[in-house]
Amino acid sequence: MILQMAAINELKEHYNIDVSELKKLPGDVDYRNIKYEVAAKEGEKYILKIFPDKDELDLAIEETWLCNRIAPLLSFKVPLTLTCKNDELFFSSSEGPAKILHFIEGDFIMNVEQTPALLYELGEKTGEMLHALKGINSPLIRSRKIFWDIQNAELSFNRLQFIREDETRRKVHYFLDRFSQFVAPKLRFMRHSIIHGDLNDHNILVKDGRVEGFIDFGDSTYSPVVSELAVACAYMMMDKSDPVEDVLPLINGFCRVYPLEREEIEALPEMVAARLCISLCNSAEKRDSGVDNEYVLISEEPARELIDKLIEINPLRIKERFLEAGGFDFGSMRNRRERILSVRKKNTGSSLSLTYRKPVYMTGAAFQYMYDENGSAFLDTCNNIPHVGHCHPVVSEAVSKQSRILNTNTRYLYDTMADYIERLLEYFPPGLDRVFMVNSGSAATDLAVRMAQTFSGRGHMAVMEHGYHGNTLTAINMSSYKFDGKGGGGKPHNVIKLPLPKLFRGKYATGEEYAEEAKAILEEGKQKGVMPAGLIAETVSGCGGQVPVAPGYFKILQPYLKENEILTVIDEVQTGFGRLGEYFWGFGMHGIIPDIVILGKPMGNGFPVAAVVTTGEVSAAFNTGMEFFSSFGGSTLSCKAAGAVLDVIEAENLRGNAGKVGTFLKGELLKLQKIHHVIADVRGEGLFLGVELEDEKGNPDTKTSSLLINRLRDKNVLASTDGPFNNVIKIKPPMCFTEKNAAHFAGMLDEFFSGSG
Ligand code: PMP
Domains and CATH numbers, the chain: 2-102 (3.30.200.20), 107-325 (3.90.1200.10), 335-388+654-753 (3.90.1150.10), 432-645 (3.40.640.10)
The alpha carbon of 67 and the centre of ligand 1 are apart by a number of angstroms equal to: 65
As a whole number of angstroms, the distance between CA 167 and CA 645 comes to 16
With the most atoms of ligand 1 within 8 angstroms of its CB, the residue from 601, 638, 722, 730 to mutate is 601
What is the DSSP pairing of strand 460-464 with strand 532-538?
Answer: parallel
Go through 19-31 and write b for each residue having 16 or more CB atoms within 10 A of its CB, e for each that does not. beebeeeebbeee
Quick one: DSSP state of residue 83? P
Q: Which is the closest atom of ligand 1 to the Cα of 441?
A: 12
The alpha carbon of 540 and the centre of ligand 1 are apart by a number of angstroms equal to: 13
| Strand residues in 440-584 grouped as ranges (E) | 460-464, 495-498, 532-538, 540-541, 547-548, 567-571
The closest residue, in CA terms, to atom 13 on ligand 1 is 441
The alpha carbon of 495 and the centre of ligand 1 are apart by a number of angstroms equal to: 19
Nearest to residue 448, comparing CAs of 531, 524, 522, 538? 538
Beta bridge partners of 48: 36, 100
Quick one: DSSP state of residue 605? B
The alpha carbon of 504 and the centre of ligand 1 are apart by a number of angstroms equal to: 24
The alpha carbon of 574 and the centre of ligand 1 are apart by a number of angstroms equal to: 7
Quick one: DSSP state of residue 603? G
As a whole number of angstroms, the distance between CA 492 and CA 517 comes to 21
The closest residue, in CA terms, to atom 12 on ligand 1 is 441
The alpha carbon of 672 and the centre of ligand 1 are apart by a number of angstroms equal to: 31
The alpha carbon of 569 and the centre of ligand 1 are apart by a number of angstroms equal to: 14
- Helices and strands, number each (H, E), in the chain: 26, 27
> In this structure, what are the phi and psi dihedrals at residue 7, rounded to the nearest 5 degrees?
-60, -40
Residues 6+ apart with CB under 8 A from 212: 76, 77, 104, 105, 106, 205, 206
The secondary element (H helix, E strand) that includes residue 383 is: none
Nearest to residue 683, comparing CAs of 693, 695, 675? 693
Nearest to residue 196, comparing CAs of 76, 298, 301, 67? 67
With the most atoms of ligand 1 within 8 angstroms of its CB, the residue from 384, 437, 442, 463 to mutate is 442
> In this structure, what are the phi and psi dihedrals at residue 31, rounded to the nearest 5 degrees?
-115, 150
In this predicted structure, what is the pLDDT of residue 5?
81
Q: Which is the closest atom of ligand 1 to the Cα of 467?
A: 3
As a whole number of angstroms, the distance between CA 744 and CA 737 comes to 11
Residues of the chain under the 70 pLDDT cut: 1-3, 295-296, 757
The alpha carbon of 681 and the centre of ligand 1 are apart by a number of angstroms equal to: 25
Residue 373 DSSP SS3: coil
The closest residue, in CA terms, to atom 5 on ligand 1 is 574
Q: Which is the closest atom of ligand 1 to the Cα of 440?
A: 15
Q: Which is the closest atom of ligand 1 to the Cα of 472?
A: 16
In this predicted structure, what is the pLDDT of residue 209?
96
CA angle 416-420-425, nearest 5°? Answer: 155
User: Which amino acid does the sequence have at 513?
Assistant: E
The alpha carbon of 468 and the centre of ligand 1 are apart by a number of angstroms equal to: 7
Q: Which is the closest atom of ligand 1 to the Cα of 538?
A: 3
As a whole number of angstroms, the distance between CA 646 and CA 576 comes to 12
Q: Which is the closest atom of ligand 1 to the Cα of 443?
A: 16
Q: Which is the closest atom of ligand 1 to the Cα of 601?
A: 15
The closest residue, in CA terms, to atom 2 on ligand 1 is 469
Q: Which is the closest atom of ligand 1 to the Cα of 610?
A: 15
The closest residue, in CA terms, to atom 7 on ligand 1 is 470
The alpha carbon of 630 and the centre of ligand 1 are apart by a number of angstroms equal to: 18
The alpha carbon of 579 and the centre of ligand 1 are apart by a number of angstroms equal to: 15
With the most atoms of ligand 1 within 8 angstroms of its CB, the residue from 464, 468, 577, 609 to mutate is 468
As a whole number of angstroms, the distance between CA 181 and CA 393 comes to 11
The alpha carbon of 171 and the centre of ligand 1 are apart by a number of angstroms equal to: 29
The alpha carbon of 542 and the centre of ligand 1 are apart by a number of angstroms equal to: 9
The alpha carbon of 610 and the centre of ligand 1 are apart by a number of angstroms equal to: 10
With the most atoms of ligand 1 within 8 angstroms of its CB, the residue from 478, 536, 546, 573 to mutate is 573
The alpha carbon of 572 and the centre of ligand 1 are apart by a number of angstroms equal to: 9
Nearest to residue 729, comparing CAs of 686, 685, 683? 683
With the most atoms of ligand 1 within 8 angstroms of its CB, the residue from 384, 469, 612, 722 to mutate is 469
In this predicted structure, what is the pLDDT of residue 2?
58
CA angle 407-412-414, nearest 5°? Answer: 60
Beta bridge partners of 598: 571, 612
With the most atoms of ligand 1 within 8 angstroms of its CB, the residue from 387, 466, 574, 607 to mutate is 574
The alpha carbon of 316 and the centre of ligand 1 are apart by a number of angstroms equal to: 32
The alpha carbon of 602 and the centre of ligand 1 are apart by a number of angstroms equal to: 10
Name residues contacting ligand 1 (CB within 6 A): 440-442, 445, 468-471, 538, 542, 571, 573-574, 600-601
As a whole number of angstroms, the distance between CA 229 and CA 193 comes to 13
Residue 691 DSSP SS3: strand
The closest residue, in CA terms, to atom 10 on ligand 1 is 469
Per-residue pLDDT of 454-470, as tens digits, reads: 999 999 999 999 999 99
The closest residue, in CA terms, to atom 8 on ligand 1 is 470
